């Protein structure tokens, strides 16, 4: 939706352009000024990427439909061409309430990710030793001077988890991605394999995370604790973004205690910390699809960790076949092993056309089959009737569409 294929947005994608134009006109018919970032978030719910929104706004400006972007109280607003207006008190209250909510949902997003990761870790007791909430782990992570939102001991490796539960579209320039990858630990032991958990991440940002030996897991709509809705609902409705959030109940512990983001933040700095250990936190109020995408992210972290253990060319090439094969399996249930091997091999030879020389395809397939057998043994892949699927997981990548809007 945001790709620049030449020509103005109105010609490249008339349907998406009309969605942007209609939203702008509707808002500026009732308000002198409308906040641009909130408009971009609203239009994500309609399946339109922010970069396409930006290009469309430029075309609308050049056509004289909207005026120059205006900064009001440190935030960017769209206006008509006429001057002399001012932001209404209703809009001021709504914008203040919207950003107050975003301040509160950050910690709730970290709590939900922590509870989901605790749930996933129980599937792999022999691989994941501990899942810890936000805490000082600088002594275990070379090169990382901040506290990860969640910390996972993954065998002899570490996975610092950075959680973003806001409304921005994560691009490669966003600080969250830079913190998560560019400060990642070196290849010394233990080697860090970071996990970024966010509503929506661009392909460029995913590549940045991947180059940092990490995985980006996306969950679509920012999560809001349901007990906060009544306080902010009128603001979200006026700004037309209420449906762009997902509302879930507070997270519960096994003793019945309910925790929201504010309470979680308080507990992290208190003696009650022991009450939210991985054995005591529950995930039954988290949407299944969220947990399935988290599980898919963890599975990808593990599959990518096999490559550094390769001791020869056959093992290296088999790992490079295994990785795309597993991505394919996360997107497609019920695939036969021969089909998986062919898919992985085609991807490998396309990306590394010079690598296949000197090593037989049969030897690489045999080694890849050994890796698949290992993933079956540890329960990351399941097989039934000759067809394979990943265990209760979905691919962590999401994309927008005009038909479905913001997923999940």
The 10s digit of each residue's pLDDT in 36-71 is 999 999 999 999 989 999 999 999 999 999 998 888
Task: Provide the sign of the torsion angle of the four alpha carbons 96, 51, 14, 402, taken in this order.
Answer: negative
Judge whether residue 399 has pLDDT over 90: no
Residue 320, judged by CB atoms within 10 A of its CB (0-12, 13-18, 19+), counts as buried
Give the Cα separation of 170 and 271 in Å (integer): 35
Rounded Cα distance, 107 and 200, in Å: 18
Q: Residue 291 to residues 43, 117, 121, 167: CA-CA distances in angstroms?
A: 26, 8, 11, 20
Q: Give the residues across from 383 on adjacent strands.
A: 388
Question: Which domains, ranges and CATH numbers included, belong to the chain?
Answer: 9-87 (1.10.10.10), 95-286 (3.40.1350.10), 306-390 (1.10.10)
Q: How does pLDDT run across 113-124, given as a tens digit for each residue?
A: 999 999 999 899
The whole-number pLDDT of residue 189 equals 46
Compute CA distances 290 → 15, 128, 276, 328, whole Å: 30, 19, 20, 19
Q: How confident is the model at residue 381 (pLDDT cuts 50, 70, 90)?
A: very high
Give 208's pLDDT tier (boundaries 50, 70, 90): confident
The mean-pLDDT minimum among 144-153, 248-257, 347-356 falls in 144-153
pLDDT of residue 186: 42
Is residue 48 reached through a cis peptide bond, with omega within 30 degrees of 0 on the bond before it?
no
Q: How many CB atoms lie within 10 A of CB 329?
A: 27
Average pLDDT value over all residues in the chain? 87
Q: pTM higher than 0.85 for the full model?
A: yes
pLDDT number for residue 106: 92
Tell me how crowded residue 112 is: count the other CB atoms within 10 A of its CB.
28
Asked if the model's pLDDT at residue 188 lies above 70, the reply is no
What is the C-alpha to C-alpha distance for residues 260 and 253, in angstroms, rounded to an integer?
11
At residue 403, the pLDDT reads: 59
Q: How far is CA 366 from the centre of its chain?
A: 34
Confidence of residue 182 (pLDDT cuts 50, 70, 90): very low
- Residue 330 to residues 83, 207, 321, Cα–Cα distance (Å): 53, 18, 15
Pick from 83-87, 200-204, 257-261: least confident: 83-87
Which one is predicted more confidently, 196 or 136? 196
Asked if residue 55 lies in contact with residue 9, where contact means CB atoms within 8 angstroms, the answer is yes
174: three-class secondary structure by DSSP? coil
Cβ-count burial of 391 within 10 angstroms (0-12 exposed, 13-18 middle, 19+ buried)?
middle
Give per-residue pLDDT as tens, 243-253: 999 999 999 99
Q: Strand, coil or helix: what is 381?
A: strand
Residue 84 has pLDDT above 70, yes or no: no
- Give the separation between CA 156 and CA 190, rounded to whole angstroms: 6
pLDDT tens-place string over residues 285-335: 999 999 999 999 999 999 998 998 899 999 999 999 999 999 999 999 999
Which of 2-6, 238-242, 314-318, 338-342 is predicted with the least confidence, judged by mean pLDDT?
A: 2-6
What is the spatial distance between Cα 53 and Cα 20, in angstroms, rounded to a whole number?
7
DSSP secondary structure letters along 191-254: PB--EEEES-B-HHHHHHHHHTT-EEEE-SSPEEEGGGHHHHHHHHHHTT-GGGSEEEPPEEBT
- Is pLDDT of 273 > 80? no
Where is pLDDT greater, at 153 or 224? 224
Provide CB contacts within 8 A for 49, sequence distance 6+: 1, 2, 169, 400
Query: Quick one: pLDDT band at residue 134, thresholds 50, 70, 90?
Result: confident
- SS3 at position 276: helix
| Percent of the chain predicted with pLDDT > 70 | 88
């Amino acid at each position: 939706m945001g790709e620049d294929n030449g020509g103005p947005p109105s010609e490249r994608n008339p349907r998406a352009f009309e969605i942007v134009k209609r939203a702008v006109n509707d808002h500026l018919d009732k308000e002198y000024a409308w906040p641009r970032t909130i408009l971009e978030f609203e239009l994500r719910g309609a399946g339109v990427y922010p970069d396409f929104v930006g290009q469309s706004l430029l075309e609308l400006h050049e056509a004289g439909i909207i005026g120059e972007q205006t900064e009001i109280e440190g935030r960017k607003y769209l206006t008509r061409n006429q001057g002399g207006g001012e932001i209404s008190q209703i809009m001021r209250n709504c914008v203040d309430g919207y950003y107050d909510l975003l301040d509160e949902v950050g910690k709730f997003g970290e709590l939900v990710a922590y509870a989901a990761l605790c749930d996933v870790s129980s599937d792999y007791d022999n691989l994941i030793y501990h899942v810890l909430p936000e805490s000082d782990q600088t002594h275990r992570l070379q090169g990382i001077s901040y506290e990860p939102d969640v910390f996972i001991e993954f065998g002899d490796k570490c996975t610092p988890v950075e959680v973003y539960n806001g409304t921005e579209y994560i691009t490669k320039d966003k600080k969250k991605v830079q913190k998560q990858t560019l400060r990642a630990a070196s290849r010394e032991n233990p080697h860090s394999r970071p996990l970024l958990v966010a509503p929506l991440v661009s392909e460029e940002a995913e590549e940045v995370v991947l180059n940092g030996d990490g995985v980006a897991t996306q969950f679509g709509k920012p999560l809001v604790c349901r007990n906060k809705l009544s306080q902010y609902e009128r603001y979200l409705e006026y700004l037309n973004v209420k449906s762009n959030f997902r509302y879930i109940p507070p997270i519960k512990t096994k003793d019945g205690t309910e925790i929201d983001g504010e309470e979680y933040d308080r507990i992290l700095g208190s003696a009650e910390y022991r009450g939210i250990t991985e054995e005591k936190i529950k995930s039954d109020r988290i949407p299944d699809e969220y947990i399935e995408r988290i599980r898919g992210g963890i599975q990808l972290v593990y599959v990518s960790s096999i490559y550094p253990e390769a001791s020869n060319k056959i093992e290296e090439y088999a790992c490079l076949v295994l990785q795309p094969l597993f991505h394919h399996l996360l997107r497609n249930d019920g695939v036969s092993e021969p089909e998986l091997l062919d898919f992985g091999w085609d991807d490998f030879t396309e990306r590394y056309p010079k690598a296949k020389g000197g090593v037989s395809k049969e030897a690489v397939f045999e080694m890849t089959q050994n890796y698949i057998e290992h993933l079956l043994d540890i329960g990351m892949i399941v097989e039934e009737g000759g067809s394979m699927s990943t265990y209760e997981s979905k691919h962590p990548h999401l994309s927008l569409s005009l038909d479905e809007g913001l997923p999940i």
